[in-house]
Amino acid sequence: MEPATKPSAQTEDAAIARMDWAELEAECVRCRRCGLCETRTQVVFGVGARDAEVLFVGEGPGEQEDLQGEPFVGRAGKLLDDMLELIDLDRSKIYIANMVKCRPPQNRDPLNIEQEACSVWLSRQIALIRPRILVCLGRIAAMTYIRPDFKITREHGQWTVRNGIMTMALFHPAALLRDPRRRPETFVDLKTLQEAIRSYCTHTY
């Protein structure tokens, strides 16, 4: 039997939904809400401007991210930095986080149960940041933030408004490393993103 003092999942979620940044990060790095906590080196909370107008959401930490505690610092991360530079962005102007904050073993896709357990952290980050634009990096983030049956090959670069936030998906940088033939399409998508930032953001430039 659980001790009477252990808060229910709903109480815990409600508490998280009220946290400020300091509390949120302190609680998140101690998270044991799913099995990924058993194999992680550390939680990868997120990085960037906490008042960013543009939020990028990836899938989950890989090996380097798990070791260094920062999203997108491996090979895919280097490509993401190059993509940002193409449209005059860098990590100081945006916020970057992942669907799950702990590395899935062997870099497998995060399971639905892991994404659900972790979603409370990113939801609170989004509520605190209040971005105007959300960019999904790859299919996994797009299936949550755009539509469960989202097809990245057909729908990348298309805008949709979800909860008042302009949202689109780019091919994941790791997918672009595997299949460089997708890069010209991604260049077009990045230019679309740049235009949207110029039209709808007030302090990103």
List residues binding ligand URA (CB under 6 A).
Answer: 58-62, 65, 71-72, 76-77, 98, 137, 174
Nearer to ligand URA, 11 or 123 (CB): 123
User: Taking a C-beta distance cutoff of 8 angstroms, is the pair 90, 84 a contact?
Assistant: yes
- Nearer Cβ to ligand URA, position 77 or 131? 77
Minimum Å gap between C-beta 196 and ligand URA is: 22
Backbone angles phi, psi at 134, to 5 degrees: -120, 125
Shorter beta-carbon distance to ligand URA: residue 48 or 62: 62
CB closest to ligand URA, residue no: 58
CA 166 to CA 174: how far, in whole Å?
Answer: 24
CB of 137 to ligand URA, least distance (A): 6
The separation between CA 91 and the C-alpha centre of its own chain, rounded to angstroms, equals 13
Quote the tokens at residue 169: 């998906």
Return the biggest CA–CA distance within the chain: 57
CB of 48 to ligand URA, least distance (A): 12
Residue type for 22, please?
A
Min dist CB 60 to ligand URA, Å, is 6
Using the 8-state DSSP alphabet, how is residue 12 labeled? H
- Choose between 170 and 201: whose C-beta lies nearer to ligand URA: 170
